[in-house]
Amino acid sequence: MSAAAPNHSTAIVPVVTLEEGVPVADSRDVAMLFGKRHDNVMRDIRGLLKSEDTPAGLFRPSTYVDDQNGRAYPHYLMDRDGFSLLAMGFTGPRALQWKVAYMAAFNGMEDELRRRSARALPDLSDPATLRGMLLGYTEKVLALEVRVVEVETRAVTAEATVEEQRPLVDAYHAFLDDDGLCCLATAAAAIEAPQQLFFAWMRERGYLFDRDGFLQPRADLRKDGYFKLRTVAGEYHRMKGQTKVTRPGLIWLRHRWLAGPGKLLALQAAVAASQPGLPGI
């Protein structure tokens, strides 16, 4: 059913709204004011979009919800150029009047945008405004300098940490194979951990778990590069899976070992050394 023709006895003003800072008209309003079916206006817009001569960005597809049935329907938002291109083919006794009215609505919205921009610009001739701007910029510069110092401090700390760990990396080199890996037993020896206690601790902490007939590391520890899974030749030359420790993994294990069981063992050794009369632990 055709849309009702606009009632010209009342003052109807074309609606132009802002979308992402751009004045746009709604295809539904255009159809209503020009006395056309909305689906026919949508058809005309789609026809324009199919043409290679139509510039991109003139028409924006969107949806609206009908107040009566709550269903969503498509419509288009168009900027000034999109409306001009669409309305170019509209004819009728009052078509020219609505074209002029829409142009006035677009002009009014663009004038309002210019006024807003003018109000947003600071008055550089006002000394108080200039002083406030300079104070604001000074605070930003000071904050930026503080951030630079923080970054430089972190960089120096990181460099010092690397230098501190360099002897460990060099010492662990002897425990690693040509691929930079070692087995779990070798890792225990590298960090000076009793093997039986080392494996029990790894299981208890959830670093390792039994699967497919061998100890496997947690997925996140593999992702972080501390462990790798390899296939090696076992008894009777049968291939089997084996967990390998990387160079970063040795350093990671050492830190955690020294913060846990290693710390307790060191304390026990210190107590035994200070009291030679006690039986060894």
Q: Tell me if 208 is assigned to some domain.
A: yes
> Among 111, 142, 167, which residue terminates a domain?
167
Q: What is the mean pLDDT of residues 143-150?
A: 72
Q: Tell me if 53 is assigned to some domain.
A: yes
Shared-domain flag, residues 195 and 161: no
Q: What is the mean pLDDT of residues 11-23?
A: 83
Shared-domain flag, residues 218 and 258: yes
Write the burial class of residue 214 (CB in 10 Å: 0-12 exposed, 13-18 middle, 19+ buried): middle
Structure tokens at 191: 């960090």
Shared-domain flag, residues 50 and 21: yes
Domain holding 161, by residue range, is: 130-167
Q: For residue 8, what pLDDT is reported?
A: 43
Specify the number of domains making up the chain: 3
Shared-domain flag, residues 45 and 109: yes
* 62/7: higher pLDDT: 62
Q: For residue 7, what pLDDT is reported?
A: 46
Shared-domain flag, residues 36 and 54: yes
Q: Tell me if 112 is assigned to some domain.
A: yes
Q: Tell me if 5 is assigned to some domain.
A: no
Q: Tell me if 224 is assigned to some domain.
A: yes
Q: Chain-wide mean pLDDT for the chain? A: 80
What pLDDT, in 10s, does the model give residues 224-259? 999 999 888 766 667 888 999 998 998 899 888 888
Instruction: Quickly state the pLDDT bin for 5 (edges 50, 70, 90).
Output: very low
Q: Tell me if 35 is assigned to some domain.
A: yes
Does the pLDDT at position 123 exceed 90? no
Q: What is the mean pLDDT of residues 211-228?
A: 90
Q: For residue 137, what pLDDT is reported?
A: 67
Shared-domain flag, residues 137 and 191: no
Shared-domain flag, residues 23 and 109: yes
Q: For residue 276, what pLDDT is reported?
A: 58
Shared-domain flag, residues 208 and 264: yes
Shared-domain flag, residues 116 and 150: no
Percent of the chain at pLDDT > 70 equals 76
Shared-domain flag, residues 141 and 221: no
Q: What is the mean pLDDT of residues 173-186?
A: 85
Shared-domain flag, residues 150 and 185: no
Q: Tell me if 7 is assigned to some domain.
A: no
* 155/169: higher pLDDT: 155
Q: For residue 218, what pLDDT is reported?
A: 92
What pLDDT, in 10s, does the model give residues 23-51? 999 999 999 989 999 999 999 999 999 98
